[in-house]
Structure 1
Amino acid sequence: MAVDEPPAEDDRDPEHTPETPGTESVQQTETAPAARRVDWSRLVDYGVLPGLALVLALAAGLLKGLDSSARDAADTRVESVQVARDAATAMLSYQPDTVDQDLGAAGDRLTGGFRDSFARFTRDVIIPRAKQQRVSAKAQVSAAGSVSATADRAVVVLFVDQIVTVGEAAPTKTPSRYRVTLDQVGGRWLISAFDPI
Protein backbone atom coordinates (compact mmCIF):
# COMPACT_ATOMS: atom_id res chain seq x y z
CA MET A 1 0.00 0.00 0.00
CA ALA A 2 1.29 3.30 -0.93
CA VAL A 3 1.33 6.03 1.62
CA ASP A 4 0.70 9.50 0.43
CA GLU A 5 3.32 11.74 1.73
CA PRO A 6 2.50 15.32 2.33
CA PRO A 7 4.01 17.56 -0.30
CA ALA A 8 7.31 19.19 0.53
CA GLU A 9 7.20 22.63 2.00
CA ASP A 10 8.41 24.18 -1.27
CA ASP A 11 5.82 22.33 -3.38
CA ARG A 12 2.79 23.71 -1.60
CA ASP A 13 0.54 26.16 -3.36
CA PRO A 14 0.22 29.22 -1.14
CA GLU A 15 -3.39 29.76 -2.14
CA HIS A 16 -4.34 26.20 -1.25
CA THR A 17 -2.31 25.81 1.90
CA PRO A 18 -4.45 24.50 4.69
CA GLU A 19 -4.86 27.15 7.32
CA THR A 20 -4.21 26.60 10.88
CA PRO A 21 -5.55 28.89 13.50
CA GLY A 22 -3.55 32.17 13.54
CA THR A 23 -1.95 31.54 10.14
CA GLU A 24 -4.23 33.93 8.28
CA SER A 25 -3.36 36.89 10.47
CA VAL A 26 0.34 36.13 10.14
CA GLN A 27 0.13 36.13 6.36
CA GLN A 28 -1.78 39.42 6.27
CA THR A 29 0.70 41.03 8.57
CA GLU A 30 3.57 39.91 6.41
CA THR A 31 2.02 41.14 3.13
CA ALA A 32 0.47 44.47 4.29
CA PRO A 33 2.83 47.48 4.35
CA ALA A 34 3.67 48.67 7.80
CA ALA A 35 1.92 51.96 8.68
CA ARG A 36 4.34 54.84 9.48
CA ARG A 37 3.95 56.10 12.93
CA VAL A 38 4.35 59.89 13.39
CA ASP A 39 6.96 60.72 15.96
CA TRP A 40 5.47 63.92 17.37
CA SER A 41 8.45 64.76 19.52
CA ARG A 42 10.76 64.71 16.47
CA LEU A 43 8.28 66.79 14.49
CA VAL A 44 8.17 69.40 17.24
CA ASP A 45 11.96 69.30 17.77
CA TYR A 46 12.95 69.58 14.11
CA GLY A 47 9.97 71.33 12.51
CA VAL A 48 7.90 73.49 14.81
CA LEU A 49 10.57 74.83 17.19
CA PRO A 50 13.01 76.01 14.47
CA GLY A 51 10.11 77.61 12.58
CA LEU A 52 8.94 79.36 15.73
CA ALA A 53 12.49 80.53 16.47
CA LEU A 54 12.76 81.98 12.95
CA VAL A 55 9.44 83.82 13.27
CA LEU A 56 10.47 85.25 16.66
CA ALA A 57 13.85 86.37 15.30
CA LEU A 58 12.19 88.12 12.36
CA ALA A 59 9.67 89.80 14.66
CA ALA A 60 12.46 90.98 16.99
CA GLY A 61 14.39 92.40 14.04
CA LEU A 62 11.31 94.22 12.75
CA LEU A 63 10.54 95.69 16.17
CA LYS A 64 14.15 96.79 16.61
CA GLY A 65 14.05 98.50 13.22
CA LEU A 66 10.79 100.25 14.07
CA ASP A 67 12.15 101.34 17.44
CA SER A 68 15.35 102.60 15.83
CA SER A 69 13.49 104.61 13.19
CA ALA A 70 11.16 106.05 15.85
CA ARG A 71 14.18 107.11 17.91
CA ASP A 72 15.83 108.60 14.83
CA ALA A 73 12.66 110.58 14.03
CA ALA A 74 12.46 111.84 17.62
CA ASP A 75 16.12 112.87 17.52
CA THR A 76 15.54 114.65 14.20
CA ARG A 77 12.58 116.57 15.65
CA VAL A 78 14.54 117.66 18.72
CA GLU A 79 17.59 118.67 16.70
CA SER A 80 15.63 120.54 14.02
CA VAL A 81 13.62 122.48 16.62
CA GLN A 82 16.82 123.57 18.37
CA VAL A 83 18.46 124.62 15.09
CA ALA A 84 15.34 126.60 14.12
CA ARG A 85 15.30 128.36 17.51
CA ASP A 86 18.98 129.29 17.28
CA ALA A 87 18.76 130.42 13.65
CA ALA A 88 15.66 132.56 14.22
CA THR A 89 17.31 134.25 17.18
CA ALA A 90 20.39 134.97 15.05
CA MET A 91 18.36 136.24 12.07
CA LEU A 92 16.23 138.61 14.13
CA SER A 93 18.87 139.95 16.56
CA TYR A 94 21.48 142.61 15.76
CA GLN A 95 23.17 145.74 17.05
CA PRO A 96 23.81 148.87 14.95
CA ASP A 97 27.60 148.67 15.37
CA THR A 98 27.86 144.95 14.51
CA VAL A 99 24.86 144.47 12.21
CA ASP A 100 27.04 143.36 9.26
CA GLN A 101 28.70 140.58 11.26
CA ASP A 102 25.50 139.64 13.14
CA LEU A 103 23.40 139.13 10.03
CA GLY A 104 26.31 137.71 8.02
CA ALA A 105 26.69 134.97 10.64
CA ALA A 106 22.94 134.37 10.53
CA GLY A 107 23.19 133.88 6.76
CA ASP A 108 25.51 130.91 7.33
CA ARG A 109 22.53 129.07 8.86
CA LEU A 110 20.45 129.41 5.68
CA THR A 111 20.36 127.64 2.32
CA GLY A 112 19.03 127.89 -1.22
CA GLY A 113 16.93 130.76 -2.51
CA PHE A 114 16.03 131.84 1.00
CA ARG A 115 19.68 132.49 1.79
CA ASP A 116 19.98 134.73 -1.28
CA SER A 117 16.80 136.69 -0.53
CA PHE A 118 17.81 137.13 3.13
CA ALA A 119 21.23 138.45 2.07
CA ARG A 120 19.63 140.93 -0.37
CA PHE A 121 17.04 142.13 2.15
CA THR A 122 19.55 142.62 4.95
CA ARG A 123 22.05 144.32 2.63
CA ASP A 124 19.48 146.65 1.03
CA VAL A 125 17.12 147.38 3.96
CA ILE A 126 18.12 146.18 7.44
CA ILE A 127 21.83 147.07 7.55
CA PRO A 128 21.49 150.64 6.19
CA ARG A 129 18.49 151.35 8.45
CA ALA A 130 20.22 149.88 11.54
CA LYS A 131 23.29 152.05 10.96
CA GLN A 132 21.46 155.28 10.07
CA GLN A 133 18.73 155.14 12.73
CA ARG A 134 20.68 153.21 15.37
CA VAL A 135 18.25 150.30 15.36
CA SER A 136 18.90 147.29 17.54
CA ALA A 137 16.80 144.14 17.74
CA LYS A 138 16.76 141.25 20.15
CA ALA A 139 14.71 138.13 19.47
CA GLN A 140 13.67 135.48 21.92
CA VAL A 141 11.84 132.28 20.98
CA SER A 142 9.10 131.77 23.55
CA ALA A 143 7.81 128.45 22.16
CA ALA A 144 8.65 126.01 19.39
CA GLY A 145 7.28 122.76 18.07
CA SER A 146 7.96 120.25 15.36
CA VAL A 147 5.33 119.96 12.63
CA SER A 148 7.07 117.22 10.67
CA ALA A 149 10.51 115.69 10.38
CA THR A 150 12.21 113.25 8.04
CA ALA A 151 15.87 112.41 7.57
CA ASP A 152 16.41 115.33 5.17
CA ARG A 153 13.61 117.84 5.83
CA ALA A 154 11.86 119.28 8.88
CA VAL A 155 9.18 121.87 9.50
CA VAL A 156 9.03 123.78 12.79
CA VAL A 157 6.66 126.43 14.15
CA LEU A 158 8.22 129.19 16.25
CA PHE A 159 6.65 131.79 18.51
CA VAL A 160 9.07 134.70 18.66
CA ASP A 161 9.13 137.91 20.68
CA GLN A 162 11.29 140.59 19.05
CA ILE A 163 12.21 143.72 20.98
CA VAL A 164 13.27 146.58 18.70
CA THR A 165 14.84 149.83 19.85
CA VAL A 166 15.22 152.78 17.46
CA GLY A 167 17.75 155.36 18.67
CA GLU A 168 16.78 156.67 22.10
CA ALA A 169 13.09 155.68 21.82
CA ALA A 170 11.49 153.17 24.13
CA PRO A 171 11.77 149.54 23.01
CA THR A 172 8.78 147.93 21.33
CA LYS A 173 7.96 144.27 21.68
CA THR A 174 6.40 142.44 18.74
CA PRO A 175 5.19 138.85 19.03
CA SER A 176 5.31 136.82 15.82
CA ARG A 177 4.81 133.27 14.59
CA TYR A 178 6.90 131.63 11.88
CA ARG A 179 6.76 128.40 9.93
CA VAL A 180 10.38 127.37 9.42
CA THR A 181 11.46 124.77 6.87
CA LEU A 182 14.86 123.16 7.35
CA ASP A 183 16.83 121.00 4.92
CA GLN A 184 19.69 118.65 5.75
CA VAL A 185 22.67 119.93 3.72
CA GLY A 186 26.13 118.44 4.17
CA GLY A 187 25.22 116.97 7.56
CA ARG A 188 23.80 120.28 8.87
CA TRP A 189 20.25 121.54 9.27
CA LEU A 190 19.88 124.80 7.34
CA ILE A 191 16.80 127.00 6.96
CA SER A 192 15.32 126.98 3.46
CA ALA A 193 12.11 128.91 4.26
CA PHE A 194 11.05 131.30 7.02
CA ASP A 195 7.40 132.27 6.61
CA PRO A 196 5.30 134.41 8.94
CA ILE A 197 1.98 132.82 9.91
Structure 2
Amino acid sequence: MSEDRKADQDATADPDATAEQDATAEQEAAADQSDTAENVDDAEADPAGGETTSADGHADTAVDETAEVPRRRGVRQTLRTQAAALLLAAALVASAGLTAWLYLERYRPDQQTDAAAEQVALDAATSGTVALLSYSPESLDQDFAAAKARLTGDFLSYYTQFTEQIVTPAAREKSVKTAASVVRAAVSDIQPDSAEVLVFINQTTTSQENPDGAFAASSVKVRLTKVDGNWLIDSFDPV
Protein backbone atom coordinates (compact mmCIF):
# COMPACT_ATOMS: atom_id res chain seq x y z
CA MET A 1 0.00 0.00 0.00
CA SER A 2 2.87 2.33 0.74
CA GLU A 3 4.49 1.53 -2.69
CA ASP A 4 1.33 2.38 -4.61
CA ARG A 5 1.04 5.58 -2.79
CA LYS A 6 4.68 6.37 -3.58
CA ALA A 7 4.15 5.76 -7.29
CA ASP A 8 1.14 7.97 -7.32
CA GLN A 9 3.11 10.62 -5.58
CA ASP A 10 5.89 10.39 -8.19
CA ALA A 11 3.45 10.72 -11.06
CA THR A 12 1.64 13.53 -9.39
CA ALA A 13 4.77 15.23 -8.20
CA ASP A 14 6.41 15.71 -11.85
CA PRO A 15 3.79 15.84 -14.60
CA ASP A 16 6.03 18.04 -16.88
CA ALA A 17 8.83 15.46 -16.92
CA THR A 18 6.43 12.82 -18.01
CA ALA A 19 5.12 15.02 -20.82
CA GLU A 20 8.66 15.78 -22.02
CA GLN A 21 9.49 12.08 -22.12
CA ASP A 22 6.38 11.38 -24.19
CA ALA A 23 7.19 14.22 -26.64
CA THR A 24 10.76 12.99 -27.07
CA ALA A 25 9.56 9.49 -27.83
CA GLU A 26 7.13 10.81 -30.45
CA GLN A 27 9.89 12.90 -32.16
CA GLU A 28 12.23 9.92 -32.35
CA ALA A 29 9.48 7.79 -33.88
CA ALA A 30 8.72 10.50 -36.46
CA ALA A 31 12.42 10.79 -37.33
CA ASP A 32 12.65 7.03 -37.86
CA GLN A 33 9.63 7.13 -40.16
CA SER A 34 11.17 10.04 -42.17
CA ASP A 35 14.46 8.15 -42.63
CA THR A 36 12.56 5.08 -43.73
CA ALA A 37 10.57 7.11 -46.30
CA GLU A 38 13.75 8.68 -47.73
CA ASN A 39 15.35 5.27 -48.08
CA VAL A 40 12.26 4.04 -49.92
CA ASP A 41 12.31 7.08 -52.25
CA ASP A 42 16.00 6.54 -53.00
CA ALA A 43 15.36 2.89 -53.75
CA GLU A 44 12.51 3.77 -56.11
CA ALA A 45 14.58 6.47 -57.84
CA ASP A 46 17.52 4.11 -58.39
CA PRO A 47 16.07 0.60 -58.43
CA ALA A 48 19.14 -0.80 -60.18
CA GLY A 49 21.55 0.76 -57.70
CA GLY A 50 25.12 -0.02 -58.74
CA GLU A 51 23.91 -1.64 -61.95
CA THR A 52 23.62 1.81 -63.66
CA THR A 53 27.35 2.05 -64.27
CA SER A 54 27.36 -1.44 -65.71
CA ALA A 55 24.49 -0.61 -68.07
CA ASP A 56 26.27 2.55 -69.23
CA GLY A 57 29.40 0.53 -69.92
CA HIS A 58 27.45 -1.95 -72.04
CA ALA A 59 25.84 0.91 -73.97
CA ASP A 60 29.23 2.49 -74.74
CA THR A 61 30.57 -0.86 -75.92
CA ALA A 62 27.54 -1.34 -78.19
CA VAL A 63 28.05 2.13 -79.72
CA ASP A 64 31.73 1.43 -80.34
CA GLU A 65 30.95 -1.88 -82.01
CA THR A 66 28.23 -0.26 -84.14
CA ALA A 67 30.66 2.45 -85.28
CA GLU A 68 33.31 -0.15 -86.02
CA VAL A 69 31.11 -1.99 -88.55
CA PRO A 70 31.00 0.86 -91.15
CA ARG A 71 34.74 1.42 -90.71
CA ARG A 72 35.45 -2.22 -91.46
CA ARG A 73 33.14 -2.14 -94.46
CA GLY A 74 34.88 1.00 -95.73
CA VAL A 75 38.29 -0.62 -95.41
CA ARG A 76 37.12 -3.71 -97.28
CA GLN A 77 35.57 -1.58 -100.02
CA THR A 78 38.79 0.43 -100.37
CA LEU A 79 40.83 -2.75 -100.64
CA ARG A 80 38.48 -4.13 -103.29
CA THR A 81 38.70 -0.89 -105.30
CA GLN A 82 42.49 -0.85 -105.12
CA ALA A 83 42.67 -4.49 -106.12
CA ALA A 84 40.40 -3.86 -109.12
CA ALA A 85 42.53 -0.88 -110.19
CA LEU A 86 45.69 -2.97 -109.95
CA LEU A 87 44.14 -5.76 -112.00
CA LEU A 88 43.01 -3.27 -114.66
CA ALA A 89 46.48 -1.72 -114.82
CA ALA A 90 48.06 -5.15 -115.15
CA ALA A 91 45.64 -6.04 -117.95
CA LEU A 92 46.45 -2.82 -119.82
CA VAL A 93 50.18 -3.41 -119.50
CA ALA A 94 49.79 -6.97 -120.74
CA SER A 95 47.68 -5.79 -123.68
CA ALA A 96 50.21 -3.12 -124.61
CA GLY A 97 53.01 -5.66 -124.40
CA LEU A 98 51.14 -8.07 -126.65
CA THR A 99 50.42 -5.33 -129.18
CA ALA A 100 54.07 -4.31 -129.26
CA TRP A 101 55.16 -7.91 -129.69
CA LEU A 102 52.73 -8.46 -132.56
CA TYR A 103 53.96 -5.29 -134.25
CA LEU A 104 57.61 -6.16 -133.86
CA GLU A 105 57.24 -9.79 -134.87
CA ARG A 106 54.61 -9.61 -137.59
CA TYR A 107 54.00 -6.06 -138.81
CA ARG A 108 57.31 -4.29 -138.42
CA PRO A 109 58.17 -2.71 -141.78
CA ASP A 110 61.79 -3.84 -141.83
CA GLN A 111 60.61 -7.42 -141.32
CA GLN A 112 58.85 -7.19 -144.69
CA THR A 113 61.26 -4.85 -146.48
CA ASP A 114 64.71 -6.36 -146.39
CA ALA A 115 67.73 -5.09 -148.29
CA ALA A 116 66.66 -6.86 -151.48
CA ALA A 117 63.21 -5.25 -151.40
CA GLU A 118 64.79 -1.86 -150.78
CA GLN A 119 67.03 -2.31 -153.79
CA VAL A 120 64.04 -3.15 -155.98
CA ALA A 121 62.32 0.07 -154.92
CA LEU A 122 65.52 2.03 -155.52
CA ASP A 123 65.89 0.60 -159.03
CA ALA A 124 62.27 1.37 -159.85
CA ALA A 125 62.72 4.99 -158.77
CA THR A 126 65.95 5.57 -160.68
CA SER A 127 64.87 3.85 -163.90
CA GLY A 128 61.51 5.60 -163.77
CA THR A 129 63.20 8.99 -163.33
CA VAL A 130 65.42 8.41 -166.35
CA ALA A 131 62.40 7.34 -168.43
CA LEU A 132 60.40 10.40 -167.40
CA LEU A 133 63.13 12.90 -168.25
CA SER A 134 64.52 11.30 -171.42
CA TYR A 135 62.89 11.49 -174.84
CA SER A 136 63.78 12.20 -178.46
CA PRO A 137 61.73 13.63 -181.37
CA GLU A 138 62.40 10.50 -183.40
CA SER A 139 60.97 8.15 -180.75
CA LEU A 140 58.44 10.16 -178.76
CA ASP A 141 55.67 7.55 -178.73
CA GLN A 142 58.00 4.78 -177.59
CA ASP A 143 59.69 7.01 -175.02
CA PHE A 144 56.41 8.19 -173.51
CA ALA A 145 55.00 4.66 -173.49
CA ALA A 146 58.08 3.41 -171.62
CA ALA A 147 57.68 6.17 -169.05
CA LYS A 148 53.93 5.63 -168.56
CA ALA A 149 54.53 1.94 -167.88
CA ARG A 150 56.35 3.02 -164.72
CA LEU A 151 53.61 5.34 -163.43
CA THR A 152 50.32 4.93 -161.61
CA GLY A 153 47.38 6.85 -160.19
CA ASP A 154 46.83 10.56 -160.67
CA PHE A 155 50.42 11.12 -161.69
CA LEU A 156 49.96 8.79 -164.66
CA SER A 157 46.95 10.82 -165.77
CA TYR A 158 48.86 14.09 -165.35
CA TYR A 159 51.90 12.83 -167.29
CA THR A 160 49.76 11.55 -170.15
CA GLN A 161 48.00 14.90 -170.53
CA PHE A 162 51.22 16.91 -170.14
CA THR A 163 53.18 14.96 -172.74
CA GLU A 164 50.34 15.02 -175.26
CA GLN A 165 49.56 18.72 -174.94
CA ILE A 166 52.94 20.31 -174.12
CA VAL A 167 55.93 18.07 -174.71
CA THR A 168 55.00 16.38 -177.98
CA PRO A 169 54.29 19.57 -179.97
CA ALA A 170 57.43 21.34 -178.65
CA ALA A 171 59.69 18.34 -179.18
CA ARG A 172 58.57 17.88 -182.78
CA GLU A 173 58.56 21.51 -183.76
CA LYS A 174 61.90 22.45 -182.18
CA SER A 175 63.59 19.04 -182.17
CA VAL A 176 63.90 19.04 -178.40
CA LYS A 177 65.83 16.13 -177.06
CA THR A 178 66.61 15.40 -173.41
CA ALA A 179 68.81 12.82 -171.72
CA ALA A 180 68.91 12.24 -167.97
CA SER A 181 71.30 10.27 -165.78
CA VAL A 182 71.17 9.46 -162.10
CA VAL A 183 74.10 10.67 -160.04
CA ARG A 184 72.97 9.32 -156.71
CA ALA A 185 69.85 7.96 -155.07
CA ALA A 186 68.82 6.81 -151.62
CA VAL A 187 65.71 5.34 -150.06
CA SER A 188 64.39 7.75 -147.44
CA ASP A 189 61.35 5.69 -146.42
CA ILE A 190 60.05 2.25 -147.21
CA GLN A 191 56.95 0.34 -146.19
CA PRO A 192 55.57 -2.96 -147.43
CA ASP A 193 53.45 -1.18 -150.08
CA SER A 194 55.06 2.25 -150.43
CA ALA A 195 58.46 3.86 -150.64
CA GLU A 196 60.10 7.22 -151.01
CA VAL A 197 63.40 7.75 -152.82
CA LEU A 198 65.51 10.87 -153.17
CA VAL A 199 67.14 11.00 -156.59
CA PHE A 200 69.91 13.36 -157.75
CA ILE A 201 70.08 13.73 -161.53
CA ASN A 202 71.97 15.45 -164.33
CA GLN A 203 70.01 16.39 -167.43
CA THR A 204 71.18 17.60 -170.85
CA THR A 205 68.75 19.23 -173.30
CA THR A 206 69.41 20.03 -176.96
CA SER A 207 67.24 21.70 -179.58
CA GLN A 208 67.40 23.51 -182.93
CA GLU A 209 67.96 26.75 -181.07
CA ASN A 210 70.65 25.30 -178.80
CA PRO A 211 72.42 22.42 -180.53
CA ASP A 212 75.27 22.50 -178.01
CA GLY A 213 72.80 21.67 -175.28
CA ALA A 214 72.05 22.96 -171.80
CA PHE A 215 73.11 21.17 -168.67
CA ALA A 216 71.09 21.10 -165.44
CA ALA A 217 71.54 19.33 -162.12
CA SER A 218 68.51 18.75 -159.94
CA SER A 219 67.00 16.49 -157.34
CA VAL A 220 63.55 14.99 -157.06
CA LYS A 221 61.58 13.12 -154.44
CA VAL A 222 60.07 10.06 -156.03
CA ARG A 223 57.14 8.40 -154.31
CA LEU A 224 56.35 4.81 -155.24
CA THR A 225 53.41 2.49 -154.66
CA LYS A 226 53.46 -1.27 -155.03
CA VAL A 227 50.83 -2.39 -157.55
CA ASP A 228 50.49 -6.10 -158.31
CA GLY A 229 53.97 -6.67 -156.92
CA ASN A 230 55.60 -3.87 -158.98
CA TRP A 231 56.90 -0.53 -157.71
CA LEU A 232 55.26 2.30 -159.69
CA ILE A 233 55.77 6.06 -159.38
CA ASP A 234 52.74 7.94 -158.05
CA SER A 235 54.38 11.34 -157.43
CA PHE A 236 57.44 13.15 -158.76
CA ASP A 237 58.34 16.37 -156.92
CA PRO A 238 61.43 18.56 -157.40
CA VAL A 239 63.23 19.41 -154.14
Report 1:1-197 matches (<5 A). 69-70=110-111, 72-167=113-208, 169-197=211-239
* Partner SS for 2:156: helix
Label 1:173 to 1:151 Cα distance change in 2 as closer, same or farther (>3 A).
same
- The 3 A distance-change label for structure 1 pair 64 and 183 is closer
Where 1:110 maps in the other structure, the secondary structure is coil
Q: Please provide the CA RMSD for this pair.
A: 2.3
Secondary structure of 1:98's counterpart equals helix
Query: Residues of 1 paired with 2:227 and 2:238: CA distance?
Result: 23
- Report which stretch shifted further, 71-80 or 131-140: 71-80
Measured in 2, the distance between the counterparts of 1:68 and 1:169 equals 48
Do 1:77 and 1:148's aligned partners in 2 also have CA atoms closer than 8 Å? no
- Which residue identity does 2:235 align to in structure 1? A
SS of the aligned residue for 1:94 comes to: coil
What is the deviation of 1:71?
7.2
Structure whose alpha-carbon radius of gyration is higher? 2
Structure 1: distance between partners of 2:189 and 2:148: 24
User: 2:146 and 2:107 mapped to 1: Cα distance?
Assistant: 38
Greater RCO structure (CA 8 Å; 6+ sep): 1
Aligned 8 A contact 2:180 2:202 in 1: yes
| Structure that is richer in helix per residue | 2
Share of identical aligned residues, percent? 32
Q: Distance in 2 between matches of 1:69 and 1:163?
A: 37
Q: Matched residues in 2 for 1:89 and 1:69: separation?
A: 28
**Consecutive aligned runs of 4 or more in structure 1 exceeding 4 Å deviation:** 63-71
**Residue in structure 2 matched with residue 8 of structure 1 by the alignment:** none
Aligned residues: 136
Q: Distance in 2 between matches of 1:148 and 1:68?
A: 10
- Shift of residue 69 of structure 1? 4.5
| Structure 2 residue identity aligned to 1:156 | V
Amino acid at match of 1:77: E
Cα offsets for 1:142-170 (capped at 9, x unmatched): 00000000110000000011100012621
> Which letter does structure 1 place at the counterpart of 2:177?
S
Aligned-partner Cα distance in 1 for 2:118–2:112: 10
Q: Which runs of 5+ in 1 are unaligned?
A: 1-62
Secondary structure of the equivalent of 2:116?
Answer: helix
CA displacement, residues 79-108 of structure 1 (integer Å, 9 cap, x when unaligned): 111110001001111111111210121011
Q: TM-score, normalised by structure 1?
A: 0.64
For residues 72 and 139 of structure 1, the distance between their equivalents in structure 2, rounded to whole angstroms, comes to 29
